Structures are given as C-alpha cells and as structure tokens.
Structure 1
C-alpha cells in the first residue's frame, strides 16, 4: 500500500512538472533595426518563464562582407542586468560571414533562472557582434526592444537582396551650408519621427540612416531648448546654428543612457558623448539644407 501511494505521488509530481514545462509561450514583437549596416528583422520571438527565444533575419546592406557573431548577442532586462546567449556560454559557434546583399536566419536563446521573463516587462535584444570582415572593431551596438504588441516598421521590407551602397566616411563628407535666415536659431529635429521617406529627403545614404538609428537606440532626440526645459527627464541633444553657419552643440542630456552604453562596451563616456553630439549636429545641418530647398 505504501509503495502504491509513493508511485501515485511520484506520478502526480511528474504530471505537474510536465504541465509546467509544456506551458504556453508568449509571443514578442520587435521593429526592424539597422545595426551598423546590417538590417536585423525579428520574425519569431517567444518567452516562457525563465527562457527567451529569438529568431531573426540579418541582411548585409553594405558593399563589404560583414561578420555576425551570435555568441556576442545578449538580452538586457529592465533593471539593467545582462543575459548572455544561453547556448554560447559553454560552447562557441563559428561566426557567420555575410557578403553584400546576403541575408540569413539567426537563432538565439537566453535563460534567467532568477527571473520570470514573462513578468519583468520589456526586454531588449543587444547586438554587438557585427563587424567588417578582417577587422576586430564592431561596427555598432544595436538595441532592439522586444514588446508584447507589434512594433511600427521603420524600414521597407525587401524580398530581394539589397543593392549594396558605399558608406561615406564622416570625416570626408561635406555638409551643405545652411540658409542665412536659419542662423542664430535653435534647430529642432525629432529623430523618433524619421522614417524611410525622411532618410531620402536628407540625402538617402546609409551613413545618415546609421546615424539616426544609433541616436534613436541611445534614446536621443534633437529638440529645442524649450522642449528640453519643459521636460528635463527626456534624453536630448540640443544644437544651434551660429553666425558662421556652423552647427554647435548646445546641451546634451540623458547621461544615464550614456553610462549604460559605456558600461556595456567599455567606451569612454566623454568619447561617446562627443560622437553622438557630432552625429546629431551633422544630421541637423542636413535637415536645414533640405528645408532651404523646399
């Protein structure tokens, strides 16, 4: 009789464990994001208790081969904790090489024994393992929010390989001269509102797209000082145009975001601050020039 009760108890426990393991997976959504010239489109993401699975298409839109190291991908929880790729902790996978215009599927998974990932809120997929073949430095750090509702698509969906385009170097690009009447006034450019049409209106290069994507990923928007003053909690880069027609950094907020980026990649805080400020200034100059043509 005792053995029968023990067997029944064990059977009940096994059924309970099986029911837990086979529980439903909650679907997540993400917007396509350009990471240093690689378009990342999440097409299947699911979460269940302590596990998260992400399937994505990665497409090289540069004119040089790039390397994708999936073992360097991670997930950041709302509290700031980083989860490394689960299957990349004890084993290493050979990085993918994508030729210009090439696209392939990448699957990654993450585990967190200490957190129920279905209740922690919005998680962020962090992509750092993207670099040009033959180089060691990463092209960019991409952050893709994984939310419970479908995200707006900011990039056109392509079924054919993207036509490779050269990425001009920032130090050799010539910024157009702004109108005289645009001088001595603040420039307001809301980066969160830019889409593919706005990219074409600026100048349509991959460089400008990468600049905007990087600023948006870091939580920045170029706004007027009045807007910044009204809500000091928003992350902004405010710029102005001086008498010489040069775009000058007025103020930069959102230091907590910079510190988070610095801690993740070991980039000096001031160096990253200046880099983002320069990108914002360049973008504002192009916006002023385009406005003068309209």
Structure 2
C-alpha cells in the first residue's frame, strides 16, 4: 500500500504548517496570558484575530469534504477529502486552540456537515451561514447520564409534537462547547416515537441555547480540567418549545443523521490526538 501524500495534500500541509509557524506557535503565550487575565469562558481575542488572517488566506472550513449533491453555491468547504484533511487535523492538534483558528473545531465541524447534508435552505441560512463564517459556535447534545449513550438507540430525551411546535424534555451531559460564550445553537437527539422500529425512534432537532427551558446545570471536569472556554456541560431541557421547522430531515431520521455525522468526526479527533501526542 502506498502511504505517500498526494501533491495536493503536500501543498495543503505546507500551507497549514507555514501558517502555524508564522501565526499560531508564536501566539501560544499570548493566548495563555489573555485567557488567564479575562473571563475564562470567553475565547481570547487572539483567536478571533488569527481567524480573520486564516480566512483571508483561504485556510478555512477545510474539514468539509466535497459532495456533488450538496455542494451548491456557497455551501461548500475547501474541497478536501477526509483522507486529504487528516494530516491537517494532525498539525492543528499540536496547539489546543489551533483548530478554531481555521474554523475546524469540534463539535462545529460535525454540526456544519449535518446542516450541509440534511438541513433545509432556511436552516442553512439561519445557522450554517454564521457557523461557516466563524461568527458563532454550536453544540451536539446526544449523551445522557441515565443510559449508555454510546448506543444512540438508548437515548431517552423526548421530542413530542404539539401543533406547530415540538416540546423537548430530557437531561444531557458531556455536551461539549456549551460553555463557550459564542455557542448559540444545539443539535439535540431524542426520541420522537418510542414505539417505532428501533432505529427509527430517534430524531434530531435544533434548539437555540437561549430558548426558555434550556438550563446549563454545570460544567463537567475531565481529569480535573474544565476545558474552558468551551467546556463540557450538563444540560437540562424542561418543556423546551421550538418550531416544527427546527426538525432535521424528518421524524425518525435521527439515528441515520448520527451515523453520517459521527464517522468523519472520529477521524478528525484521532488525528488531532496524534498531533497533540507529538509535542
């Protein structure tokens, strides 16, 4: 098997490496000082400054692979496959905040892919546009404290239709990114029909974090770290009402969406972890 990078991959590796050398590594100390001096749950200004530079250099949304069916107009990434993006994720993983500089941070990457593949035009305009511009952050609420959530069919959060709205009740945790002050929307997975076929009981729905009934109970530590300014939250959803138009793809399609979303993300996480282990 040939493990040699293609000419295209080598070009992107060189561009990302050069940006890291010129802009990211020299500003690690700046990030740490700004983070320590201000509100720990607000992203340091240096990240926003570097995002603007990366965007101007075309090093932006590199994670989103090309897709003939869904790449329409402005809704597309840099045109890299997961294989071509993998070594870039490895390079970014060498600095904790680097992925955000290139608008390639989880869980936004997976969420943007969900909007790209499964969202309506209205959903894309309202949420995908500001996400792809790097103006807001997002969260993915699947894992629950009461059930083994690695099997998504176990999810118990309820999503019930009530006229032109859905009412959502449940408790989520390890909801990464909720602590970020720029986190504005969550994709929530729950059960819309517990009597349906096992893999068609679940749905995914959009919930603005400022919706009445959304309560962030606490930020959960991982090995003693709270991972500010993004964090991992426990979130209570009590009679949260959202428009029926916030449903993604349709009732009973949640497990299908989860399978499409989580696959590429696992590659991204693994490659970033390798990068982190290299320094």
Q: TM-score, normalised by structure 1?
A: 0.28
Structure (1/2) with the larger strand percentage: 1
Query: Which entry has the higher C-alpha Rg, 1 or 2?
Result: 1
Which structure ranks higher in relative contact order (CA pairs < 8 Å, sequence separation ≥ 6)?
2
Q: TM-score, normalised by structure 2?
A: 0.29
Structure (1/2) with the larger helix percentage: 2
